[in-house]
Amino acid sequence: MVPLQTLYARTHFRNLQIHKLYRSFHSTKHLYKEPITVSTVYDPVTGCMVTKSNEEPDKQRGERLLNSDYADAFKDDRSYGSVMKGFGGGKKKSKSKSVWVCSECGYSDGQWWGYCRECKSVNTMKELVDVVDSGGGKTNGFQMSEKLVQSWLPKRAGEAVPLRLTDVNRGVNHSDWRFPLSGLFGDEVSRVLGGGLVPGSLVLVGGDPGVGKSTLMLQIAAIIAEGKEIGKPAPVLYVSGEESVEQIGNRADRMEISTDELFLYSSTDIEDILVKAQALSPRALIIDSIQTVHLAGVTGSAGGIYQVKECTAALLRFAKKTDVPVFLIGHVTKSGDIAGPRVLEHIVDAVLYMEGEQYSSHRLLRAFKNRFGSTDELGVFEMSPCGLKAVKNPSEIFLSEERSDSEFLAGLATAVIMDGSRTFVIEIQALCATGSSLSRQVNGVQAGRADMIIAVLMKQAGLKLQSNAIFLNVVSGASLTETAGDLAVAAAICSSFLEFPIPSNMAFIGEVGLGGELRMVPKMEKRVGTLAKLGYKKCVVPEPAAKLLRGLDFGEFELLGCQTLKDVINSVFITS
């Protein structure tokens, strides 16, 4: 048996690891005295053959990493070799093990359950076979980056002990803690991040392939590198595992990015990336994408659940230890499948999603999780031939250009909806046609909600819609998810049915109740303020809202308070 001192000399593990190794050494000695017996029996509960051994259960689960490290340290010791067989030691061999991962929340379990024990979803546990390399080497992203970063940074004094809050905050000016991003584009990104870039944060930027994630990150990288707000450029490292540096260079040229401090690197090895980052000491690190990078020692291909998790853990450690913010790009499917965002959501500080309709140039950047800000924020961009541009008046993006014609067009009404903290003005079209089949088609409005509004118009407002086919459409592909648009839907139907065009400078805000009454909706002041700013002259609102807002100054803007749908028809659609 090799004395413990020799073990210390052979391996360069840190104290904690040596301590664990020492424990492992003793447990192994114990096992040497009592050889392991293994038997295979039929388990009636699972209906499978199960292999059982006389090992203690916690040792069976064991810390495979430590055991394999231990096996490595003693690989030339014969007496140990036979004992290590119980741990999969001796001859280096790869083992495969199954884990079940929940596709909803990312929870993983060593055995299959009919439901997820974390989020209670049924039928979401999917089996993943992972090959565990028992031949030693690094299998843990956390340890890998810890080792790398520790050799780089001097250990901060007092880091290893709990600190008083007052000591932590002493001398820190929280107002300039975040890194500001300059320009209209930078403001829009800052808004989503919660007011600027937080040092040492790990941000995941997700979205469908081709939505514009790489474009967005290249532009953000350039802004951070230029550092116009603080007047000091600094290096930013953009690492791509998907494109060559020439391809990224070509894209940057198209977007007129020419900062000296933007460094491009094409690699998929996370260890290599962190070594290069260490040499550069960047202001920010961008990884495009997390599905393409891998960590040596963790088996399974890049993009697999283990690789994605371990690489993210390595980058998290890197970010926290060095205060360098790290952005990860992640391709996701809308269902958020395995190795998608759900698995990483727990690890990262912020999850941003980039959304965009296939045939629209508008892109929305939304915070889904943010440890440093609100998740209500929304960034609105437009994809142009030279990159993403911030949209100056996001409230107007869903308005059609032919709006001026609506003076003569019956069946068009304007609504104001909220998305997070942002307001959007949208147009709703209705067409009531007699004589055709009595079908009902809705686009952008929930079918059930539309049915309810039509029923209320018939029963409570006395509109004879029974013999009409009704078509509803939200212009520009937007969708009406809020009840605040009910009144505009009702107004559009009335306008088409009565063939009475609604003036283009008039809007409708309010929920419609089953009794035909109009109900208040949240953030009335903000919605009305947006309309006034965009040059609208009149808005029909529920009576209580009109009373509430009467004291406020919206210039020449007029609020028309109504209690029921009948009131709305009488005051808007009947000319005296």
What are the residues binding Mg ion (CB under 5 A)?
214
Instruction: Name which of 455, 473, 377, 371 is nearest 418 in CA terms.
Output: 377
CA–CA gap between residue 64 and residue 5 (Å, rounded): 23
Min dist. Cβ of residue 388 to ligand TYD (A): 8
Residue 278 near residue 148 (C-beta atoms within 8 A): yes
Q: Which is nearer to Mg ion, 149 or 248 (CB)?
A: 248
Q: Looking up tokens 């283990």, which residue turns up?
A: 306
Supply the DSSP string of 143-166, one letter for each residue. Answer: HHHHHHHHHHSPPPTTTTS---HH
Q: Which is nearer to Mg ion, 214 or 406 (CB)?
A: 214
Q: Which is nearer to ligand TYD, 356 or 516 (CB)?
A: 356
CA dihedral 454, 430, 519, 576 (to 10 degrees): -100
Min dist. Cβ of residue 331 to ligand TYD (A): 7
- Residue choice 383, 390, 520, 548 for contact with ligand TYD (CB under 6 A): 383
- Residue choice 86, 212, 235, 300 for contact with ligand TYD (CB under 6 A): 212
Interface region with ligand TYD, contact rule CB under 6 A, candidates 221-229, 380-388, 460-468, 509-517: 380-388
Min dist. Cβ of residue 353 to ligand TYD (A): 11
Residue whose C-beta lies closest to ligand TYD: 214
Q: What's 441's DSSP letter?
A: E
390 binds ligand TYD per the rule CB under 6 A: no
Cα–Cα distances in Å, from 412 out to 147, 390, 402, 514? 64, 29, 11, 23
Residue 289 preceded by cis peptide, ω within 30: yes
Q: What's 179's DSSP letter?
A: B
430: Cβ contacts below 8 Å, ≥ 6 apart: 411, 412, 413, 470, 471, 472, 473, 489, 492, 493, 495, 496
CA–CA gap between residue 113 and residue 104 (Å, rounded): 14
Min dist. Cβ of residue 268 to ligand TYD (A): 16
CA dihedral 454, 456, 459, 465 (to 10 degrees): -10
Interface region with ligand TYD, contact rule CB under 6 A, candidates 211-219, 258-266, 424-432, 516-524: 211-219
Q: Which is nearer to ligand TYD, 136 or 341 (CB)?
A: 341
Q: Which is nearer to Mg ion, 315 or 491 (CB)?
A: 315
Q: Which is nearer to ligand TYD, 251 or 533 (CB)?
A: 251
211 binds, among Mg ion, ligand TYD, none (CB under 5 to 8 A by kind): ligand TYD
C-alpha dihedral sign at 320, 321, 327, 332: negative
231 binds, among ligand TYD, Mg ion, none (CB under 5 to 8 A by kind): none
- Residue choice 304, 340, 379, 387 for contact with ligand TYD (CB under 6 A): 387
Q: Which is nearer to ligand TYD, 359 or 408 (CB)?
A: 359
CA–CA gap between residue 141 and residue 125 (Å, rounded): 24
CA–CA gap between residue 521 and residue 511 (Å, rounded): 7
215 binds, among Mg ion, ligand TYD, none (CB under 5 to 8 A by kind): ligand TYD
385 binds ligand TYD per the rule CB under 6 A: yes
Residue whose C-beta lies closest to Mg ion: 214
Spell out, one character per residue from 213 to 232, where the chain touches ligand TYD: x when CB under 6 A holds, - when not: xxx-----------------
Q: Which is nearer to ligand TYD, 242 or 558 (CB)?
A: 242
57 binds, among ligand TYD, Mg ion, none (CB under 5 to 8 A by kind): none
Min dist. Cβ of residue 212 to Mg ion (A): 8
Q: Which is nearer to ligand TYD, 270 or 286 (CB)?
A: 286
211 binds ligand TYD per the rule CB under 6 A: yes
210 binds ligand TYD per the rule CB under 6 A: yes
359 binds ligand TYD per the rule CB under 6 A: no
255 binds, among ligand TYD, Mg ion, none (CB under 5 to 8 A by kind): ligand TYD
CA angle, 468 then 474 then 478, to 5°: 155
CA–CA gap between residue 496 and residue 499 (Å, rounded): 5
Q: Which is nearer to ligand TYD, 215 or 496 (CB)?
A: 215
Q: Where are the alpha helices (DSSP H) in 256-379?
A: 270-280, 305-322, 341-345
CA–CA gap between residue 270 and residue 205 (Å, rounded): 18
Min dist. Cβ of residue 305 to ligand TYD (A): 21
251 binds ligand TYD per the rule CB under 6 A: yes
Residue 191 near residue 373 (C-beta atoms within 8 A): no
CA–CA gap between residue 287 and residue 363 (Å, rounded): 21
Q: Which is nearer to ligand TYD, 335 or 563 (CB)?
A: 335
Instruction: Name which of 514, 516, 510, 414 is nearest 462 in CA terms.
Output: 516
Collapsing DSSP states into helix, strand and coil, what is residue 219?
A: helix
- Residue choice 114, 154, 171, 209 for contact with ligand TYD (CB under 6 A): 209
Residue 269 near residue 263 (C-beta atoms within 8 A): no
Give, as ranges, the residues between 419 and 448 that touch ligand TYD (CB under 6 A): none
Min dist. Cβ of residue 361 to ligand TYD (A): 8
Spell out, one character per residue from 268 to 297, where the chain touches ligand TYD: x when CB under 6 A holds, - when not: ------------------------------
Residue 85 near residue 149 (C-beta atoms within 8 A): no
Supply the DSSP string of 457-519, one letter for each residue. Answer: HHHTS----TTEEEEEEEGGG--B-SGGGHHHHHHHHHHHHTT-PPPTTEEE--EEPTTSBEE
- Residue choice 255, 347, 520, 548 for contact with ligand TYD (CB under 6 A): 255
254 binds ligand TYD per the rule CB under 6 A: yes
Q: Which is nearer to ligand TYD, 291 or 530 (CB)?
A: 291
240 binds ligand TYD per the rule CB under 6 A: no
Positions in the binding site for ligand TYD (CB under 6 A): 207, 209-215, 251, 254-255, 383, 385-387
